[in-house]
Structure 1
């Protein structure tokens, strides 16, 4: 497996070198919205420690990412009046991974509404800002 690249886009977001629509942050994870969401409220949960994917992440970091992903899912159900949640996590090229920093996709879903194909359309920044604000507020109540 290739080494972790500390200059990947998510590492730059963690360091504050690139902007994001932040939903939640603690000392171990960062949650922000995907700029090309597959559905409204599509969030990414990432560990702050360097981890290429599930194959090399510290088990305690993975557990914390999963705990926070569950909270994001609960918030997404409320905020987006969702009927369900899709959680996705990809590893290495053959597994569909595109950004080589561990991340979980948490995607609120509506019955009979297909997700958009991956990386097809950028959402408007004001829409993402509003969604991030509403998800962050819901996370505070969980």
Structure 2
């Protein structure tokens, strides 16, 4: 299997705005966020579908996502943090954590055409960074 963009991030071949990492997972900001703080939580092991992860990795990934969502909620970026699993875009299992103030924010499309604002992402990553 060819390395996904996420595997290249894990290997350090591509940069990211990381907020958390342990021996099995990494979490970083989406470069085209739906809203500020939009975070991706991924296993370091490349598996296309979340449902194909082994049980231990699957459970660990969701436990990390829960801790990060609680952390983001405590920072009061928005009242809630939604979790979304779509299974498209990148052939590497991942969970989106999206701070939202309403369902409408969750439904707005990502703007993948605008230039990436690395300064804003770096500032948000600094705010969100944690050892969870």
Describe the superposition over 1:92-123 as per-residue Cα deviations: whole angstroms up to 9, x where unpaired.
xxxxx110000000011114762430343454
Matched ranges for 1:92-111 at <5 A = 97-111=88-102
Gaps of 5+ in 2: none
TM-score (norm 1): 0.83
What residue is the counterpart of 2:109 in the other structure?
117
Normalising by structure 2, what TM-score? 0.88
**SS of residue paired to 2:32:** coil
Root-mean-square deviation over aligned CA pairs: 1.8
> What does residue 125 of structure 2 align with?
132
For 2:95 and 2:57, how far apart are their aligned partners in 1?
12
> 1:37·1:123 contact (CA, 8 Å) conserved in 2?
no
Q: 5+ unaligned residues in a row in structure 1: which ranges? A: 92-96
Q: Report how many residues are paired.
A: 130
Deviation at 1:55, TM superposition (A): 3.0
Cα offsets for 1:51-86 (capped at 9, x unmatched): 111232111111111011111111211224321111
1:49 Cα shift?
1.2
Matched, 1:89 2:93: no
Contact 1:35 1:122 in 2 (8 A): no
Asked whether the 8 Å contact 1:40–1:80 carries over to 2, the reply is no
Which residue in 1 is equivalent to 2:68? 72
The DSSP-based 3-state class of the residue aligned with 2:51 is: coil
Q: What is the CA–CA distance in structure 1 between the aligned matches of 2:26 and 2:92, rounded to whole Å?
A: 12
Q: Which residue of 1 aligns with 2:19?
A: 23
